[in-house]
Amino acid sequence: MDKNSLKIVIADNQAEVPKYKVIPRDFTFEEFGNYVFTGIRRAGKSYLLYQRMQQLLAQGVGWDEMLYVNFEDERLVGMAVDDLNLLLELHLEMYGKKPVLFLDEIQNIAGWEKFARRMADTKHRVYITGSNAKMLSKDIQSVLGARYIAVDVYPYDFKEFLTANEISVSHNTLLSTESKAVILRKFNDYFYFGGFPEGASLFAKRDYLTSVYQKIYLGDIATRHSVENTFALRILFKKLAESIKQPMSFTRIANIVSSTGAKVGKNTIINYIEYAKDAWLITSISNIAGKLVDKETNPKYYYTDNGILNLFLLDGNTSLLENLVAIHLLRKYGRSDAVFFYNKDIEVDFYIPDEYTAIQVSYALDHDDGTFDREVNALLKITKVLTCNRLLIITRDTEQTLESDNKTIEIIPAWKWLLQI
């Protein structure tokens, strides 16, 4: 890479970072921690870097002690891992100081993890972002060792979404009819259009979401993995969206996709799903009552953001509500063996072992069609086989507390639940 070009990139970044309007997220940086932030594109990973850099600037730390590079900058196309050390050399030439490193979307540089480990070993403070879930695969973690704190970054939760729209939440605002109405209107936006930070205050949200999805679908999945059968890939994502709430085996998915004329085998479906997980487009949870093979091969799939899921759906309220709950649980408890569903004789939408909490999701609790009894009975039955300290039914609007069989069941609207936990 040309040194003068790199100097221009560094200088441009120094001028731009302070200009960003950063809405602080609910995250506390450890003073001496090294971080790897991963998540879906446009989730706000870069803004966490901006947040940290602006904090340091406010504390009197200057650009002579910080180095920020965004590896999606088109001026850095062709940059290789050997060029990463050149950035350090340039900073030393310019300032003569060892910098705190902010390396944005570093997955674009093959072999980055060895450089990252060396930086930690040489006592550099390092903040890294990336959009590829394989950045934290077992192989890379073994290279990084315990030198980095891994953080999953999701689009805004509902509290952050309200903050981004300059709406404060307190006990009094929830009691006030007028302020509660404002919160409910914003929940409607959040429910249908999700929480991508850049889209939080846009009017043309669907156009924005379409552009984000296309970038993930084409750039992070199809192009990155040289997928030739893009029609089958597109059908797969549509069918997964239409099958939210249902466990789906690889064989069943392959049959459903093939029935549309997009002939595809089970192994190809497995690969496509892994690509989508790597890009954080989808995630999965397994059946806590299932055998090992069933846990791996018959999970339920959810989209990382309701806005993208809604691109695929017509009249998808029930799916959107369950997806919203699933992602909030994964955001809170983590993606690895922390959130499950239960399916053995009875079906319960979510079970959280760490909290001994069972959750049903029901858009509308209707006594006439049996929905109310079905949801309540499932929760009562799961207490016979799993420890349950809390039983919840999350709805769109209904709120009540029910006592049955010496058990308390909380029925709570999703918007209120999202603001509670």
Q: Per-residue pLDDT tens for 145-176?
A: 889 999 999 999 999 999 999 998 888 888 78
Q: What is the mean pLDDT of each run of 10 residues along the chain (421 residues)?
A: 90 96 90 93 95 97 98 93 94 95 94 95 96 80 89 95 92 84 96 96 93 95 95 97 96 96 94 96 95 88 98 96 98 89 96 97 87 96 97 96 95 96 53
For 149, how many CA atoms within 13 A lie in the half-sphere containing its CB?
Answer: 14
- Residues 379 and 367: their CA atoms lie apart, in Å, by 16
**What integer pLDDT is reported at residue 311 of this predicted model?**
98
Quickly count: other Cβ atoms within 10 Å of residue 363's Cβ.
18
Closest by CA to 127, choosing from 42, 52, 41, is: 52
3-class DSSP state of 283: strand
Q: Residue 3 corresponds to which tokens in the numbers above? A: 């040194």
Question: 49 and 189 in one domain?
Answer: no
Question: 189 and 122 in one domain?
Answer: no
H helices of 96-176, in order, are 112-121, 138-144, 158-164, 171-175
Q: Which one-letter DSSP state was computed for residue 17?
A: G
Verdict on whether the full-model pTM lies above 0.85: yes
**What integer pLDDT is reported at residue 421 of this predicted model?**
53
Question: 144 and 9 in one domain?
Answer: yes
Quickly count: other Cβ atoms within 10 Å of residue 63's Cβ.
21
Question: 420 and 397 in one domain?
Answer: yes
Q: Which one-letter DSSP state was computed for residue 357?
A: E
**What integer pLDDT is reported at residue 314 of this predicted model?**
94
Phi, psi at 234, each rounded to 5°: -65, -40
Last residue of a domain, one of 95, 123, 152: 152
Question: 40 and 129 in one domain?
Answer: yes
Closest by CA to 299, choosing from 324, 281, 282, 319, is: 282
The helix (run of H) or strand (run of E) holding residue 379 is helix 371-382
**Domain extent at residue 170:** 158-199
Bridge partners of residue 346, in order along the sequence? 344
Closest by CA to 133, choosing from 250, 241, 233, 36, is: 36
Question: 126 and 183 in one domain?
Answer: no
Q: Judge whether 22 lies within some domain.
A: yes
- Residues 61 and 352: their CA atoms lie apart, in Å, by 42
Q: Are 389 and 356 in contact (CB under 8 A)?
A: yes
* Most distant CA pair in the chain, distance: 75
Q: Residue 264 corresponds to which tokens in the numbers above? A: 């595809």
Considering its fold, how many domains does the chain have in total? Answer: 3
